[in-house]
């Protein structure tokens, strides 16, 4: 189990316990975090679960895979710390992870 902090575009924070093996998107959907939609259900097919990974957490994540990289082309306001939350699998090492939702999702 890892505690993940989700920050809405407007600044509201949600501190959520997400089970190991689930995705960061799963945690956002389970607790209805606004701004992280996941319209495709986590299949890496829509980019509506786009998040910004805060601080040094980005460097701790597994490298981005080609499919995720390609899907980010469809996301709004992509930045160097952008990831799709459906592709971030929760491990105990991610306890404390902080992600921020963009201003909107496409």
CATH number at residue 74: 3.10.20.30
Answer yes or no: is pLDDT of 59 > 90. yes
Helix (H, G, I), strand (E, B) or coil at 24: helix
What is residue 57's predicted lDDT score, i.e. its pLDDT?
97
Pairing of strands 98-100, 82-84: unpaired
In a domain, 76, yes or no: yes
Task: Specify the 3-state DSSP secondary structure of 82.
Answer: strand
Within a domain: residue 43?
yes
* Backbone phi, psi, residue 9, to 5°: -55, -35
Is 11 a domain residue? Answer: yes
Average pLDDT over residues 52-78: 96
Domain span at residue 66 reads: 2-100
Is 90:17 a contact under the CB 8 Å cutoff?
no
**Range 58-68 average pLDDT:** 96
Kindly indicate the confidence band of residue 106, based on its pLDDT and cuts at 50, 70 and 90.
confident
Q: pTM (2 decimals)?
A: 0.95
Asked, for residue 105, whether it belongs to a domain, the answer is no
How many domains does one find in the chain? 1
């Amino acid at each position: 189990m890892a505690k993940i902090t989700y920050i809405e575009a407007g600044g509201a924070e949600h501190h959520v316990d997400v089970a190991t093996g689930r995705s960061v998107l799963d945690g956002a959907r389970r607790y209805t975090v606004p701004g992280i939609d996941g319209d495709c259900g986590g299949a890496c097919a829509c980019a509506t679960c786009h998040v910004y990974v805060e601080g040094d957490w980005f460097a701790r994540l597994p490298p981005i895979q080609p499919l995720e990289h390609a899907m980010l082309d469809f996301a709004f306001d992509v930045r160097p710390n952008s990831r799709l939350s459906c592709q971030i699998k929760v491990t105990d090492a991610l306890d404390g992870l902080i992600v921020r939702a963009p201003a909107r999702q496409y």
